[in-house]
Structure 1
Amino acid sequence: MKRQRNRGRAMLAAFAAVCAVVGLPGQAYAAGPPAYAFDPDAKRVQGAERNAEASVLQPGAVYRSSIEPGQKLYYRVKLDSTTDSYVSAVAVPKSDGSVAYGDGITVSIRDLNDSRCSSNRNTFGSGETPRPIAAYAYRTIGKGTSTTCREAGTYDVLVERESEDESSPEAWDLELRFVQEPGLRSGGPTETSAPKDWPSSTPAPPDAEAQKRTGGTSYYDATSLETGEWVDAIAPGQTRFYRVPVDWGQQIYASAALSNSPGDSSEFIGSALTLSLDNPAQGHVVDTSLSYSGKSATTALKPLPPVEYRNRYDFSSQVGAMRFAGWYYLSVTLSPKVAESYGKDPIALTMTVQVKNDAGASPYEGDPGIFAVTEKDKELAQSGDSAPKAAKSATMQVVAAGALGTGAVLVLGLGGWTLLARRRAAAAAAGGPGGPGGPVPGHQQPPYGGPPQQGW
């Protein structure tokens, strides 16, 4: 019995340890969230100033690096002759630093003759507010692709930082991703021209009561949203992240409204809030901003085309970025300048999101990976869970199932011992084998009169 008790206690201790790891309710957390939650699976990698010394990035992997003002850093990828590939870089400056209008990053993919396959640049813009910004480059096989970028082999990924002299000199963190697009199925999209027209008027607000959702701190822990109005709060200098599943043929609309600020101040702040949209490969699509003078103000993203494979053939980078289905990321940043006139307290923020049209079929053959909207994605958008929260919930289900199984084994073991003990007592009372003065056949009698020891 003593050994059974010890075993039960050990099982409970193990369960408690697992609960501590996955963060059950009631567990203590570190005070305050980080400024930017990097993917915990990101591997550390150092950019090289000489391309021959560059580290090779692996498909599907996430990396962490950093870049100094004016630096040009190389990384490398191995590409075949048939797969469309994308490399994104998220630049994360210090939140208490300063940036200028034209500060930003440029990402390009180049062959070993330094011929550029593609290049994209993103800047902090008129808000001049330190915030995470993303840009991506790609090597695609198809219309408009340079013949020098069609061959299989080694390609350079070049990340360049631009910073004015008056900007903060600290290094920016980088989060790098390398993803590859699945191949098209037989009979897939054959059109090689982008659509010319799409609905461009802003739809009426959703007919639903606004609900509370707290945004995340990065792409990794972005809060999931579906069509609706979502109430949050944002403090000066803070960036909130959300994500919305947008399937093939669907069109996304998004706006952000900043509440009025109590008090007598009416100081005008230009580009006080920035709303930005990035695609599933974390390529920048578009952004917009609003000015603030203590009264409620709103801004909306310009209407974008429905998600279609052939959008990639458009000359506009904004249209071209709407080229695949999956999670689209919304980020909202409130300028730290707001604190100077309206205080440091958070201001109420309302996000309005609408996804229009029925979902179409995927053009890919096989597993589409991140370039799809699954039933699970729709459930997450409905519940508001982030990716790590959903993973934690799945872990808890496994832990709960394991705990139930352990409990069942423990109960069965105790039941079996009780049955054996009763049989022994009955035999002893009858005076037969195993009765007074005689051992139970096949069992060793313990010296302390405890349960039979065979099998323990």
Structure 2
Amino acid sequence: MVVRLGVVAVVLGTTAAVVPGQAALAAAGASGTAVSPSPYAFADDARSVEGARSTGDAKLLTPGTAYKSSLPSNGKVSYLLQLDATSNAYVSVTAVPSPGSTVSVIDGLKVSVQDDDGTSCSDDTASFGAARSPHPIAAWGRREISPTKSLCQEAGTYYVSVERVDPKGEGSSPGAWDLELVAMTEPRTAKTGPTSAPEVWNSASPQPLLGEAEDRRGGAGFAGATPLDQGVWRDDIRPGQTLFYEVPLDWGQQLHVTADLGSSASGGTGYTPDALDLTLYNPARGPVADVGVGYTGGPKSGSLPPLPPVDHANRYAALGKVGAMRFAGSYYLVAHLAESVADSFGDGPFPMTLRVQVSGEARRGPGYVGESEPKGVFDVSDQDRQAAAEGVAGGDDTAMRVVAVGGIGIGSALLVGLGVWTVGTRRRSAV
């Protein structure tokens, strides 16, 4: 169970919900002070941990726990894992450059895992795209137990190393980046399944869903991602903003997503490459696939590439986007609108429509032996489905609100922000 904090704003007895993590922004608005919103909302229960320059000083990451750390502009930082000989382990690292910083075309994040003898288990990189717009990006590291692998199969000490792809920072701001780290474990299966990915699956892209869009406001981080199910969803996005959504996918289900960016109201002209970036992450927050939509001020659309149905055996595929569709759970859609859009088309907001299609009947999973950490992260529960249908995290949005009344003076208004305790039952203790 996770307790979430929110805010209710009260003006002359009228209540308006404020997105979690933006309480400071609402309070600043009351005093007339302009404040830039944080680019990322970390998990409420994230623990602080310092990355070590030497593996000998690395601090332990406990699976199922979210951590907040930082990454200097030069050099690696390392963290410690203690793993058994039967579970798969995944570590996702989200990097958050400071607002107003700059990033180069080649700059990005690299995450690697190695054993205590320095043997590489995996590495992954993430970049900011052609628009060179700083925003939260995530990469993952993996230690996989598999009959097809000979390395990194033993119980013991493993290290997670995190570094920037462009260590010299040429064309990028030299400051440190904030990090959010989450380690997860996946138990072994009761029976040995296939050791090759399915050879045949429907790779044809269906016609995008039609119909009137329903408003659904995105969250500001993985932990506060807004649940979505199949449908047409409308949101507003500003240049430099990143919005997070999650879609529950069960075993055997297939996801298709199209993103539409509406025309500009400013009448500006120009072209921004990869103006809208839409990235899909799996339940372990590992990157699956993405699409970049260039923008000229008129309506533009882009779709994620075809993806296979969720299958345990996908992990044996050579193609990364297939291998990442390896477990059931919440898949994350992360949308970012490049800062440079504002240069030609103004500050917006710009209308964005997500057309989400889920096909295929849910089927039984591979039969895990034991629990994952966090518990239930690789399952889809009835609560997850209810949350996606309602757009409320946890499915049960029970809230206690305490209301105070503010008055209006000449030329100004007093905006009172009050805390709201929203208690929701979630299946992941890390999010």
Residues 64-112 of structure 1: CA distance to partner in whole angstroms, max 9, x if unpaired? Answer: 1000112201100001111111111001111311111211111111111
* 1:69 is the counterpart of 2:73: yes
Match of 2:174 among 169, 177, 189: 169
For normalisation by structure 1, the TM-score amounts to 0.78
Q: Which amino acid aligns with 1:134?
A: A
Q: Distance in 2 between matches of 1:51 and 1:21?
A: 36
Q: 1:207/1:336 Cα in 2 relative to 1: closer, same or farther (>3 Å)?
A: closer
Q: Distance in 2 between matches of 1:386 and 1:96?
A: 31
* 1:284 is the counterpart of 2:287: yes
What is the DSSP-based 3-state SS (H/G/I as helix, E as strand, rest coil) of the residue aligned with 1:386?
A: coil
For normalisation by structure 2, the TM-score amounts to 0.82
Match of 1:95 among 92, 96, 99: 99
Name the % identity: 42
What is the DSSP-based 3-state SS (H/G/I as helix, E as strand, rest coil) of the residue aligned with 2:163?
A: strand
Residues 240-297 of structure 1: CA distance to partner in whole angstroms, max 9, x if unpaired? Answer: 1111001101111111111011344221111111110101000111111011111000
What is the DSSP-based 3-state SS (H/G/I as helix, E as strand, rest coil) of the residue aligned with 1:60?
A: coil
Per residue, is there more helix in 1 or in 2? 1
How many correspondences in the alignment? 376
Q: Residues 219 and 329 of structure 1 are in contact (CA less than 8 Å); yes or no, is this contact kept in structure 2?
A: yes
Alignment of 1:347-386 (within 5 A): 347-363=350-366, 364-367=368-371, 369-386=376-393
* 1:127 is the counterpart of 2:147: no
> Greater Rg, structure 1 or structure 2?
1
Q: Choose 119-128 or 274-283, whichever is displaced more.
A: 119-128
Q: Which amino acid aligns with 2:293?
A: L
Aligned to 1:221: 224
The structure, 1 or 2, with the larger RCO (C-alpha pairs under 8 Å, 6+ apart) is 2
Q: Residues 237 and 351 of structure 2 are in contact (CA less than 8 Å); yes or no, is this contact kept in structure 1?
A: yes
1:201: Cα distance to partner? 1.8
1:49: Cα distance to partner? 0.8
1:356: Cα distance to partner? 0.6
Q: Which amino acid aligns with 1:340?
A: D
Q: Which runs of 5+ in 1 are unaligned?
A: 1-19, 401-456
Q: Distance in 1 between matches of 2:128 and 2:163?
A: 15
Q: Which runs of 5+ in 2 are unaligned?
A: 27-36, 402-420, 423-431
Q: Residues 206 and 227 of structure 1 are in contact (CA less than 8 Å); yes or no, is this contact kept in structure 2?
A: no
Alignment of 1:406-445 (within 5 A): none
* 1:314 is the counterpart of 2:317: yes
Residues 196-239 of structure 1: CA distance to partner in whole angstroms, max 9, x if unpaired? Answer: 22212221233543101111111011111111110111001111
**RMSD over equivalenced CA pairs, Å:** 2.3
Q: Residues 224 and 242 of structure 1 are in contact (CA less than 8 Å); yes or no, is this contact kept in structure 2?
A: yes
What is the DSSP-based 3-state SS (H/G/I as helix, E as strand, rest coil) of the residue aligned with 1:203?
A: coil
1:151: Cα distance to partner? 1.2
Q: 1:146/1:107 Cα in 2 relative to 1: closer, same or farther (>3 Å)?
A: farther
Q: Distance in 1 between matches of 2:211 and 2:162?
A: 44
Q: Residues 79 and 155 of structure 1 are in contact (CA less than 8 Å); yes or no, is this contact kept in structure 2?
A: yes
Moved over 3 A (4+): 20-30, 365-368
What is the DSSP-based 3-state SS (H/G/I as helix, E as strand, rest coil) of the residue aligned with 1:31?
A: helix
1:177: Cα distance to partner? 0.6
Q: Residues 127 and 274 of structure 1 are in contact (CA less than 8 Å); yes or no, is this contact kept in structure 2?
A: no
Q: Choose 112-121 or 21-30, whichever is displaced more.
A: 21-30
Aligned to 2:183: 178
Per residue, is there more strand in 1 or in 2? 2
Residues 140-194 of structure 1: CA distance to partner in whole angstroms, max 9, x if unpaired? Answer: 11133233x1111111111111233220111110000111002213x4x511101
What is the DSSP-based 3-state SS (H/G/I as helix, E as strand, rest coil) of the residue aligned with 2:69?
A: strand
Match of 1:337 among 314, 335, 340: 340
Q: Residues 143 and 313 of structure 1 are in contact (CA less than 8 Å); yes or no, is this contact kept in structure 2?
A: no
Q: Distance in 2 between matches of 1:132 and 1:250?
A: 28
